[in-house]
Amino acid sequence: MLVETAAHDRAPARTRQGPPLTSEQADRIRRIRRTGAYVLLIVSSAMFLLPFLWMLTTSLKSDADNLAFPPQWLPDSFHFENYIKGWSGSLPFTKFLVNTIVITGLSMAGNLISCVLPAYAFARMRAPAAGIMFGALMATMMIPREITLVPKFIMFSKLGWVDTYLPLIVPEFFGVALYIFLLRQFFTTIPQELIDAARIDGASELRILWSVMLPLARPAIAAICLFSFVGNWNQYLENSIYLRSMDKITLAQGLGMFSGQYVTQYNQMMAVSIISMMPILIVFFLAQKTFIRGVTLTGIAGR
Amino acid sequence: MTAVSARGTLARREARRFYLFTSPWTIGFVLFSVGPILAAVVLSFMKWNLLQSPTWVGLANYERMVNDPEFWESIGNTVEYGAGAVALGVTFTFLLALLLNQPLRFQGLFRTVMYLPSVVSGLATALLWLNILHPDYGLINKVLASIGIQGPGWLASQEWAIPGLVLMSVWGAGNTIVIYLAGLQGIPKTLYEAAEIDGAGWWRRFWSVTVPMMSPVIFFNVVTGFIAALQSYVLILVMTEGGPGNATMVLGLYIYRHAFVYFDMGYAATLSWAMFVLVIAVTAIQFSLARRWVHYEFK
């Protein structure tokens, strides 16, 4: 069924005519193709690496080189002490790091728990109000965040939640429209045959979700973990609205204060930015591994 | 029991389960979203500068908006930026994801590098791109000059400012690449094997297996790409503040200006609802077109 719906046009599938390739020729084609792929990868990586290299060189510049105009791409000398000066200067960045870990960890857990169930229902269950509810879900993504900012703040301050982590963490336990939509799209690609088979075996919906859907949607779950991590780690606007005390604020806020305090010290600011980026890169490197392990659904398309 | 009523009971049970499973989101929607949304509706009929208490002005804000030439100009800019960013972003990142999905060495490293721009802070991104797009000493125009082409003025020119911003947006689309990569893992290998046995070449496997199997994921990227692009303004604020002239004054920036520079919260709310209508219209078109090209396993 998969193959038939997949084929859009009805032209014969055979595209290459003529005598079959010798194994030598096939090898050469494969080699050329692989070299081409590497060249493309290296060229595009160079483009994407640029911002990081620029941050790196800026973080190593002397205070004087910082202000040079037009900006220098490479510093005259390397100042590694910018990292220590920036991190253990007047702002308690280690404390900010701990706070960020607490908020990010709890929010991520909340996102995961609260997005999987609705996504499964939106992808695979029928109900009279399903269409309207999906519309409402999509609509919440489309309302400009800026305009609900003030009413939200008034609501949370009436609850006495200002200067606590509650306004940042509690809503994360009630689903994020973007992640629900993303997971739903992945759940819709899983062959119905697998679900039917599990149902015939007497599996409950939760069981199907846990043993059929989630393992197959693992790359999507990894993507959501990553987005949730990065989003909460870098969250600046909401954090600075709700968190006031110096002992509660996060890394992103600390970086913001940094640029306010030392307007010209881009070098130290970049150094601290790079340190605060490192956890994200580590999480990314771990998450992307799940994108390698391909999912094989044997015995489905073979009919 | 007749067959019809048995089916009715089953359907009711499925519907009950649906409401139960979606309840985390439904409860959150009622608790945290409905109130602020209603408040924003009421606000659009008010005049409020955040300091004095709001006063009711009826439809005045809406009348003002319809007759505001800058508003209509910003709609045009928003659509131009959104269409450019999505068209270029969705195709370019798809090709990159296909490349990053090849069984080659160092892929973990390549993937991490291509995600880097999405991690770098907005301020650093803005400073970097101001340098890259600078008409005289910018990287792009220097490269163009070396092959004998006189580069455009980019952010300094009325016509090239939005294309410049589109280039920047594509470069920061690491999340889109991640979503494509995740989607590519879900395509059963047996489909490719079957296609190969049938003699399908690379191009044919791409069009008849990869694209249809990826269509729900491509659809996701197009829809959310439009939503994000039509709402975006933060980087534009830092880089051009809407200039030169009003060339990059997008709707999000126009709302920001009225809300947090002129402190005209009522008018900002009205403009926000206009943006909401714009985004919802674009999304509705996407969903109605989706029936023609998105392939779902469950209908």
How do residues B28-41 score in pLDDT, each as one tens digit? 999 988 988 898 89
Q: Who among A44, A174, A190 is closest to B297 (CB)?
A: A190
Both structure tokens of A62: 């002397």
List the structure tokens of A57: 């060189």
Inter-chain CB pairs, A–B, below 8 Å: 306
State ipTM. 0.84
Instruction: Give the largest CA-CA distance in chain B.
Output: 83
Q: How distant, in Å, are the alpha carbons of A139, A150, B12, B41, B61 from that of B58?
A: 25, 21, 44, 12, 8
How far is the CA of A86 from the CAs of A247, A268, A279, in angstroms? 18, 5, 18
* Per-residue model confidence as pLDDT tens digits over B179-211: 998 888 878 888 888 888 888 888 888 888 899
pLDDT band of residue A258 (cuts 50, 70, 90) is confident
Distance CA A12, CA A18 (A): 16
Judge if the upstream peptide bond of residue A92 is cis by omega within 30 degrees of 0: no
- In whole angstroms, what is the distance from residue A61 CA to residue A240 CA? 29
Residue B47 pairs with which residues in a beta bridge? B55
User: Which amino acid type is present at position A277?
Assistant: M
Contacting residues for B220 by C-beta, under 8 A, at least 6 apart: A181, A182, A185, B179
Chain A partners of B43 at a C-beta cutoff of 8 Å?
147, 151
> Is B196:A26 a contact under the CB 8 Å cutoff?
no
CB contact under 8 A, A189 and B186: yes
Interface membership of B290 toward A (CB under 8 Å): no
User: Which among A70, A222, A295 has the least Cβ separation from residue B186?
Assistant: A295
How far is it, in rounded angstroms, from Cα B183 to Cα B246?
Answer: 39
Instruction: Give yes or no for a contact between A208 and A217, defined as CB atoms under 8 angstroms apart.
Output: no
d(CA A265, CA A268): 6
* Contact: A300, B190; criterion CB under 8 Å: yes
Surface of B (96-155) touching A: CB under 8 A: 96, 99-102, 104, 107-108, 110-121, 123-125, 128, 131-132, 134, 137
List, for residues A18-31, the tens digit of each pLDDT value: 566 677 888 888 88
Residue B156 has pLDDT above 50, yes or no: yes
Q: Is A262 on the interface with B (CB under 8 A)?
A: no
CB contact under 8 A, A288 and B217: no
Q: Which of these, B64, B63, B47, B67, lies nearest to B266 by C-alpha position?
A: B47
Question: Do the Cβ atoms of A5 and B212 come within 8 Å?
Answer: yes
The tokens describing A262, both together, are 């030392």
- Contact call for residues B298 and A192 (beta carbons, < 8 A): yes
pLDDT of residue A13: 43
**B272 vs A181: CB contact, 8 Å cut-off?**
no
Cα separation, B60 vs A61, whole angstroms: 54
Beta bridge partners of B56: B46
Eight-state DSSP code of residue B242: T
Instruction: Write out chain A residues lying below 8 Å of B203, CB-based.
Output: 15
CA–CA distance from B62 to each of A143, B270, B273 (Å)? 17, 6, 10
Does position A2 have pLDDT exceeding 80, yes or no? no
Cα–Cα distances (Å) from B33 to A28, A221, A264, B206, in that order, read: 59, 25, 40, 42
Query: Distance, in angstroms, between B84 CA and closest chain A CA?
Result: 19
**CA–CA dist A182, A160 (Å, integer):** 34
Helices B69-100 and B161-171: angle between axes, nearest 10 degrees: 40
Query: In chain B, what residues touch A289 (CB-CB under 8 Å)?
Result: 108
The reply to whether CATH 1.10.3720.10 applies to domain A84-291 is yes
CB within 8 A of A17, min separation 6: which ones?
A: none
pLDDT at B107 over 90: no
- The predicted model gives A162-182 an average pLDDT of 93
CA distance B159 to chain A (A): 24
- Give the Cα separation of A216 and A214 in Å (integer): 5
- Tell me which residue in A143, A174, A289 faces B32 most closely, judged by beta carbons: A174
Asked if B203 and A15 come within 8 Å (Cβ–Cβ), the reply is yes
Q: What are phi and psi of B55, to 5 degrees?
A: -120, 145
Q: Taking 70 as the threshold, does the pLDDT of residue A12 lie above it?
A: no
Q: Quick check: A259 pLDDT over 70?
A: no
Measuring CA to CA, which residue among B210, B222, B206, B208 is closest to residue B184? B210
* Residue type for position B144: L
Contact assessment for residue B37 and residue A143, using Cβ atoms and an 8 Å cutoff: yes
Do residues B286 and B292 touch, judged by C-beta distance below 8 A?
A: no
What is the model's pTM? 0.84
State residue B67 phi and psi, 5-degree precision. -95, 15
Torsion of CA A128, A188, B176, A239, to 10 degrees: 50
Name which of A175, A219, A300 is nearest B185 (Cβ-Cβ): A219
> What is the C-alpha separation between B73 and B120, in angstroms, rounded?
31
Domains of chain B, start order: 65-293 (1.10.3720.10)
**DSSP one-letter string for B127-194:** HHHHHHT-TTT-HHHHHHHHTT-----GGGSTTTHHHHHHHHHHHT-HHHHHHHHHHHHTS-HHHHHH
Structure token pair of residue A248: 């509660």
d(CA B138, CA B168): 14
Contact residues, chain A, for B115 at CB < 8 Å:
284, 288
Residue count of chain B, please give it. Answer: 299
Query: Directed axis angle between helix B174-185 and helix A177-188, to 10°?
Result: 30
Work out whether strand B55-56 and strand B46-47 pair parallel, antiparallel, or are unpaired: antiparallel
**Banded pLDDT at A228 (limits 50, 70, 90):** very high
Helices (H), B29-68: 34-43, 60-66
Looking at A285-299, B20-34, B189-203, B223-237, which range is the least confident one? A285-299
In this prediction, residue A26 carries a pLDDT of 80
Cα–Cα distance measured from residue A149 to residue A81, given in angstroms and rounded to the nearest whole number: 40
